[in-house]
Amino acid sequence: MNSIYTVIVTYNSMQWIDDCINSVINESTVIIIDNNSSDATVQHIKSHYPDVILLPQQENLGFGAGNNLGISLALNKGAEHILLLNQDAKMGVSALAKSVTFQKKNKTFGMVSPIHCDWTGLYLEKGFDRYVSYENNPDFYADHVLSHHIKEVYPVKFIAAACWVLSRKMLLEVGGFDPLFFHIGEDSNYCQRVLFHKFKIGVLPGITVCHDTRGRTYRNHELFTDKYYKYQDYHSKIKLANVNLPNSELMVKGSYKVNQLRKQILLALITLNLTTFKGYFRELKQYKSIIKASIDSATLNRKRDSHYLKLDN
């Protein structure tokens, strides 16, 4: 029985799916959860990859719930190590095998990941430098740039969920993705929980994963647009559902933000700025609605358990 599984959540993934699957299919049992794609993804997988376990959905479950479904199935089938791989990512040569070998020897590292490169593999992925920055690991760039001894692993506080190798032990104690997050923010929340439960997160040098982020833009969202409110929603949840802070501190953070928004609303009212008044009023309503749910989430996730996963007894 294979103890290494790869879970991939797909949605209209035709441009990447062959590269993605072929990078892991010889080293793992592949489970794909398709979030109701409207392109040929499902039929292509059925036709070309008969050994892949394919679970087509009738609706878009989102990133977290889709992965939880695949993780649950893999654990129920006896998986000891599970790779979560984005549909627009492909593992480098032996990256999965080397990740698992390291994790077997270093059981405190519940989550490990290779170096994240762009799709060409010639450059670091945009944003990866933040994960291994001086504040998160002072050795990484010093070792590589100054020709120091390259360490076997570089502990960090966060890695984006494009490529995670997770241990069974950690999953049973930390659980799956929190349904508080539909898409975006769930990886930050999960890394908070991993560290809280005394597991480590590590970047492994010498191996790579290529992630296609071409065309993505990272800019501030215009005030009071739908994208602005979406950002405020998941960003606030990341802060308020942080298991590493006591509930009393989370409540203080929540109360402070509420008071700040109320001041903005009052100022808009005094200056007769109706657009600003309506915008901040909507944000206040949204923010107040997530405070309790976020703190309840933190309270639950401090308990060691396989939260959000459906496991056989």
β-pair partners for 116 = 209
Predicted local confidence at residue 250, as pLDDT: 97
Q: What is the pLDDT of residues 19-51, one digit of tens each?
A: 999 999 999 999 999 999 999 999 999 999 999
C-alpha 112/C-alpha 164 separation (Å) is 6
Residue 92 region by backbone torsions, left for phi larger than 0, else alpha for psi between -120 and 50, else beta: beta
Q: What is the pLDDT of residues 68-126, one digit of tens each?
A: 999 999 999 999 999 999 999 999 999 999 999 999 999 999 999 999 999 999 999 99
Predicted local confidence at residue 214, as pLDDT: 83
Predicted local confidence at residue 313, as pLDDT: 74
Q: Residue 282 belongs to what H/E stretch?
A: helix 274-301
**303 CB contacts (<8 Å, ≥6 apart)?**
none
Indicate the pLDDT class of residue 64, thresholds 50, 70 and 90.
Answer: very high
Percent above pLDDT 70 for the chain:
98
Predicted local confidence at residue 217, as pLDDT: 64
Extended strands (E) in 102-240 = 111-117, 154-156, 163-167, 201-211
β-pair partners for 56 = 34
Angle of helix 226-240 versus helix 274-301 axis, rounded to 10: 30
pLDDT tops 70 at residue 1: no
Predicted local confidence at residue 219, as pLDDT: 63
On average, the pLDDT of the chain sits at 96
pLDDT tops 60 at residue 147: yes
C-alpha 47/C-alpha 43 separation (Å) is 6
Predicted local confidence at residue 2, as pLDDT: 82
Q: What is the pLDDT of residues 265-299, one digit of tens each?
A: 999 999 999 999 999 999 999 999 999 999 999 99
Predicted local confidence at residue 105, as pLDDT: 98
Q: What is the pLDDT of residues 211-248, one digit of tens each?
A: 999 877 656 789 999 999 999 999 999 999 999 999 99
Collapsing DSSP to helix, strand or coil, 131 comes out as: helix
What angle is formed at CA 173 by the lines to CA 237 and CA 102, rounded to 5 degrees?
105
